[in-house]
Amino acid sequence: MRGFSLYAIPPTETAASLQARRAVMSRKSLSVEEAGARARERRREASKIQRFDRVARALVLLVPVAGAVAWTGSARSSIPVLLAGYLLSGLVIAALIARLTRTPEAARAPLERYYLPDEQLASAEDIALLRRLANEDLELDAVTTAWWRSSAPIRKGDVALAVEFHAAKQGGSGRQKA
């Protein structure tokens, strides 16, 4: 009796090709809404800043200084010093309000900036590569046909899975060949 295998794995099958096959077969499709929600969460986390930073603290310290200048002008009956104190205090309070209520740059950035590389939508070149690989390999063609029927768009991560699967079946590394 020759070596019996429950799964009848061909002798050309390697651990890398088994792992790549498992990854391709268990592709987790990501809908547009899910990817958008993840990116919004990343943008929200990136936009959390300490609003009361060093500049804001300096402005808070300048408020009593401006008040003291205005009080000095009033006590000495000096209109120019009094006006300078009011002007300084108005500018400091306006700058402090602007500083504390500003929208962080990260929150203004477009949402696409916060997609992970594998969450980016596949480009036309990626789709062409995927079709070419599927035409060369019937097993990959069967898997990608299910991807096309899915409502979730094909993403760069999906194309990378297909490239790695194809390369593993060929015996190389997918990231180097693509």
DSSP assignment of 51-92, as one string? SS-HHHHHHHHHHHHHHHHHHHHHHTT-HHHHHHHHHHHHHH
| Contacts by 124-132, CB closer than 8 A, 24 or more apart | 126/154, 126/156, 126/159, 127/154, 127/159, 129/159, 129/163, 129/178, 130/154, 130/158, 130/159, 130/162
Question: What's the pLDDT at 178?
Answer: 46
Are residues 37 and 58 located together in one domain of the fold?
no
Q: Does residue 109 belong to any structural domain of this protein? A: no
Taking the CB of residue 73, how many other CB atoms lie within 10 A of it?
A: 18
Q: Does residue 9 belong to any structural domain of this protein? A: no
Judging by beta carbons within 10 Å of its beta carbon (0-12, 13-18, 19+), is residue 106 exposed, middle or buried?
Answer: middle
What confidence category does residue 50 fall into, taking pLDDT thresholds of 50, 70 and 90? low
Q: Does residue 106 belong to any structural domain of this protein? A: no
Are residues 126 and 169 located together in one domain of the fold?
yes
- pLDDT tens-digit series, residues 124-164: 999 999 899 989 888 888 888 888 888 878 888 889 888 98
Residue 156 vs residue 18, higher pLDDT = 156
Q: Is the pLDDT of residue 45 over 70?
A: yes
121 beta partners: 155
**Which SS3 state, helix, strand or coil, does residue 19 take?**
helix
Residue 32 vs residue 172, higher pLDDT = 32
Domain span at residue 140 reads: 15-42+116-177
Q: Does residue 122 belong to any structural domain of this protein? A: yes
Q: How many domains does the chain have?
A: 2
- pLDDT tens-digit series, residues 63-108: 999 999 999 999 999 999 999 999 999 999 999 888 878 767 766 7
Question: What's the pLDDT at 9?
Answer: 60
Q: Does residue 131 belong to any structural domain of this protein? A: yes
Question: What's the pLDDT at 87?
Answer: 95
What confidence category does residue 120 fall into, taking pLDDT thresholds of 50, 70 and 90? confident
- pLDDT tens-digit series, residues 5-15: 445 566 666 67
Rounded distance, CA 159 to CA 126, Å?
7
Rounded distance, CA 20 to CA 165, Å?
5
DSSP symbols for 136-159: H-HHHHHHHHHHHHSSSPPBHHHH
